[in-house]
């Protein structure tokens, strides 16, 4: 699913989906992946049952991503089964080999102060997909703050999703500078926590894919 995009426009992941209405809007404007946040402390938390009720109505070409923070492996596996997850996103302090035996790929979140730090931060993760977000010692699951930009080695950029304060107004510059595998947005396309704004969704996806 993800590999097919590597030579084309970036994959667009819309995270923090909490309702069928928002999921439908994201699909209609061209999102490739939808993220469901299973971290209870998040304002965008959804239960496995709620995520399943939304995910089971999605078209087959749209990927379902489960976001976890320091969850037990059995919890992750249960969500994979019930929701039908295509990707597991690890956003906590999980060991480097956590998730190696899951039957779906993992997207490992790395928190840095700038993209220039990513090559060093990625050394413990020499393969697989990475998501880079702004560091905050007190927060998990995304800070909503933009990262200082810099280019990345091509091989690393080809497996990285850039997150952190992206908006329809900033995503074009990020894609042109980094040329990442994908981009990930949550608060930047919302009218309030957990409530997506249709116009901002449409502008974000179109700007990202046209960059």
Question: Each residue's pLDDT tens digit in the chain (211 positions)?
Answer: 555 444 468 999 999 999 999 999 999 999 999 999 999 999 999 999 999 999 999 999 999 999 999 999 999 999 999 999 999 999 988 998 998 899 999 999 998 988 899 999 999 999 899 999 886 655 555 555 678 888 899 999 999 999 988 999 999 999 999 999 999 999 999 999 889 999 999 999 999 999 9
DSSP letters along 63-118, please?
Answer: EEEEEESS--HHHHHHHIIIII-SEEEE-S---TTTTTT-SS-EEEEEEESSGGGH
Under CATH, which number does the domain 3-210 receive?
Answer: 3.20.20.70
Q: Residue 160: CB partners within 8 Å, gap ≥ 6?
A: 118, 129, 130, 131, 132, 152, 178, 180, 181, 182
Token pair for 59: 């078209």
Task: Assess whether 197 carries a catalytic annotation.
Answer: no
Find the catalytic residue in 15, 32, 86, 186: 15
Q: Residue 173: CB partners within 8 Å, gap ≥ 6?
A: 149
Query: Do 183 and 166 form a contact (C-beta atoms < 8 A)?
Result: yes
CA-nearest of 207, 205, 208, 138 to 179 is: 208
Token pair for 54: 């939304």
Q: For strands 195-196 and 190-192, give the pairing.
A: antiparallel
148 to 141, 174, 178, 210: CA distances (angstroms): 19, 10, 11, 22
pLDDT at residue 7, as a whole number: 47
Find the catalytic residue in 22, 86, 133, 184: 133
Quick count: other Cβ atoms within 10 Å of Cβ 40? 9
The CA-based angle 142-181-147, given to 5 degrees, is 40
Query: Do 136 and 111 form a contact (C-beta atoms < 8 A)?
Result: yes
Helix (H) or strand (E) holding 205, with range, is helix 198-210
Task: Assess whether 15 carries a catalytic annotation.
Answer: yes
């Amino acid at each position: 699913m993800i590999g097919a995009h590597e030579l084309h426009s970036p994959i667009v992941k819309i995270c923090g989906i909490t309702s069928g209405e928002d999921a439908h809007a994201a699909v209609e404007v061209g999102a490739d992946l939808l993220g469901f946040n299973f971290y209870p402390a998040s304002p965008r938390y959804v239960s496995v049952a709620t995520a399943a009720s939304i995910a089971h109505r999605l078209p087959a070409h749209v990927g379902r991503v489960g976001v976890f923070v320091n969850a037990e492996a059995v919890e992750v596996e249960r969500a994979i089964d019930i929701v039908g997850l295509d990707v597991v996103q690890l956003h906590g302090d999980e060991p480097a080999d956590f998730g190696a035996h899951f039957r779906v790929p993992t997207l490992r979140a790395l928190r840095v102060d700038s993209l220039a730090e990513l090559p060093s931060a990625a050394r413990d993760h020499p393969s697989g997909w990475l998501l880079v977000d702004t560091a905050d010692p007190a927060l998990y699951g995304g800070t909503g703050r933009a990262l200082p930009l810099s280019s990345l080695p091509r091989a690393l950029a080809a497996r990285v999703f850039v997150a952190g304060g992206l908006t329809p107004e900033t995503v074009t510059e990020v894609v042109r500078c980094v040329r990442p595998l994908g981009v990930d947005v949550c608060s930047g396309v919302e009218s309030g926590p957990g409530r997506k704004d249709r116009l901002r969704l449409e502008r974000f996806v179109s700007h990202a894919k046209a960059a």
